[in-house]
Amino acid sequence: MGEKNSGNIILISKKYTENGEGVRWNSSAETTLNAAKHVKMHGQESGVRFGTYEATQKNTLLVKKVEGPFDEDGKLVTVMYKEKWYTFKASQFSRKPTDKELQQVQWAKQLDDQPVAHIHTGGTVKDGTVQIQYKVNAPTQVQQTKIFAYFQRPTKTVSVTATVKETEPVILFVNGYWNKDIPYAGPDSGKLYWPDRFIAAAQKYFKGQKNLFINGANTMFSSGSLRYNEGKKIAQERFNNPKSTFHQLIFKEKGADDKYLTPVFVVTHSMGAAYGEGIISVLKEKGVMVRKVVHFSPADVSDFSVTLPACTFQVDINVDPVLTFKNMNDGRFIKGIQAAGEVNNPSNDEYGHMYTKSEPFVWNWLEDLESIQLVPGGEIEVTESVSSMGGGGFAVIHRKKKLFHASGIKKGTQFRQLKKNGGVYKHYQGNDYVNW
């Protein structure tokens, strides 16, 4: 029976009998008993009693209010970050429920416009309320969740809505060698190494505002392996120091399955690349989600290896006097790198090494390095100059090369040379490249 009577019940029978340990008739309007002969009432013990009307309690139990989400400090919030637990409460009811009845409260969720789905029954009973904890799983693609509490069926009027977001990432900037007297280097370590326009472009690219600046430099002639070990050491020390800013930003928040919640993006420059990879090795070991790594103009590339090849990118600029000297007897790519690209210096001057840590346009290069696809397009014959026998000059030879057409370029970047999908390529003309 609902809140209001919606019809009549008519019983027609030659004989009608009701038996029960306790039978009660309730009526809020006039009640009439008609009999063709007479009406008999018998009370075996105390006789028949007549009294005034007593309104009966409506027995239907309904949830009237849901509250949440509450964070770990008990604060009511409007945004839920994935993989983080939040508390929801069913706090008001159509009548006072028993603890046993509270354990029958049903809980359901609705993610965006998906169907409503049951998630739990009961919960923790406390002070006349029932509470549950709920989190949105990381792989779920969702912008909003709605939580319902009910006994019979979920209704929109008894629910709460929260915005769902990824946990805000931290962008880790690792600077290289700095010297205020050298125009190619930064004026100082930490934040001062990176111009504001470069930091803003990185924040836009990674969609995050939290920054952490690490000094990855050593002496000008230090090796990549030395800096790698220094980065590894400092990351382990910060992990063991809960009061450090590094620990507070990266290691503080844990979610389900004891996993760290904060995603990390790593940006390095020059000699900071080796130091950064040392840090990344510890982050990987501890289970931190390193989403993407980009090394701009890395130095000493043969002295260390990338830790996470699938999400690591190397971006270089042609006409780089610093790396011409520092990487003189070195390779072109960091060991293990899967995606790397070199672009001509748009100013064609001697400041290329500085541009890859100061100018926002290098983020366009990174975007195209991520998205570029090379489609086979036949073969061509190219002319190459090679050293002649005895080192007395150069010889010109003709070779056949496989031709590839580039697609997926969003910012119009033309790479001078490129490493992608297991191959190394050089620019030929337009959007075409040849294997090398």
The CATH code of the domain that includes 142 is: 2.60.40
pLDDT in the model for residue 381:
87
User: Is 312 part of any domain?
Assistant: yes
Furthest-apart CA atoms within the chain: distance in Å: 136
Location of structure tokens 């075996």? 44
Q: Select from 113, 145, 164 the last residue of a domain.
A: 164
Q: What is the share, in percent, of the chain residues with pLDDT greater than 70?
A: 84
Location of structure tokens 């050293």? 387
pLDDT in the model for residue 256:
61
CATH for 212: 3.40.50
Q: What is the DSSP letter of 136?
A: -
User: Is 5 part of any domain?
Assistant: no
Question: Looking at residues 306-334, what average pLDDT do you find?
Answer: 88
Q: Give per-residue pLDDT as tens, 100-137.
A: 999 999 999 999 999 999 998 889 999 899 999 999 98
197: pLDDT strictly greater than 50: yes
182 and 155 co-located in one domain = no
231 and 327 co-located in one domain = yes
d(CA 191, CA 226): 23
User: Is 281 part of any domain?
Assistant: yes
Q: What 3-state DSSP class applies to 178?
A: strand
251: pLDDT strictly greater than 60: yes
Which amino acid, 258?
Answer: D
The residue segments making up the domain with residue 390 are 374-436
- Contact between 61 and 93 under an 8 Å Cβ cutoff? The reply is yes
118 and 224 co-located in one domain = no
pLDDT in the model for residue 414:
96
424: pLDDT strictly greater than 80: yes
pLDDT in the model for residue 80:
94
- Contact between 363 and 195 under an 8 Å Cβ cutoff? The reply is no
Q: Give per-residue pLDDT as tens, 12-40.
A: 666 666 665 556 666 656 667 677 777 67
pTM of model > 0.75: no
CA angle 383, 434, 316 (to 5 degrees): 105
- Contact between 317 and 304 under an 8 Å Cβ cutoff? The reply is no
User: Is 40 part of any domain?
Assistant: no
Identify whether 69 is preceded by a cis peptide bond (ω within 30 of 0): yes
Q: What total of structural domains would you count in the chain?
A: 3
Q: How confident is the model at residue 2 (pLDDT cuts 50, 70, 90)?
A: very low
pLDDT in the model for residue 322:
82
Q: How confident is the model at residue 358 (pLDDT cuts 50, 70, 90)?
A: very high
Q: Give per-residue pLDDT as tens, 369-423.
A: 999 999 999 999 887 766 655 555 666 777 889 999 999 999 999 999 999 999 9
Q: Select from 114, 137, 164 the last residue of a domain.
A: 164
243 and 272 co-located in one domain = yes
User: Is 319 part of any domain?
Assistant: yes
pLDDT in the model for residue 253:
82
Question: Looking at residues 181-207, what average pLDDT do you find?
Answer: 89
More confident residue, 253 or 425: 425
Q: Give per-residue pLDDT as tens, 263-284.
A: 999 999 999 999 999 999 999 9
pLDDT in the model for residue 1:
41
Question: Looking at residues 70-79, what average pLDDT do you find?
Answer: 93
Q: How confident is the model at residue 41 (pLDDT cuts 50, 70, 90)?
A: confident
**Chain mean pLDDT for the chain:** 88
323 and 177 co-located in one domain = yes
pLDDT in the model for residue 264:
97
Q: Give per-residue pLDDT as tens, 205-216.
A: 999 999 999 999
pLDDT in the model for residue 5:
47
Contacts for 67-70 with beta carbons within 8 Å, 24 or more apart? 67/91, 67/160, 68/147, 68/160, 68/162, 69/134, 69/147, 69/160, 69/162
Q: Select from 132, 164, 196 the last residue of a domain.
A: 164
Q: What is the share, in percent, of the chain residues with pLDDT greater than 90?
A: 66
More confident residue, 163 or 56: 163
Question: Looking at residues 304-308, what average pLDDT do you find?
Answer: 98
- Contact between 434 and 380 under an 8 Å Cβ cutoff? The reply is yes
70 and 107 co-located in one domain = yes
User: Is 31 part of any domain?
Assistant: no
Q: How confident is the model at residue 362 (pLDDT cuts 50, 70, 90)?
A: very high
pLDDT in the model for residue 22:
55
Lowest mean pLDDT among 40-44, 54-58, 281-285, 321-325: 54-58
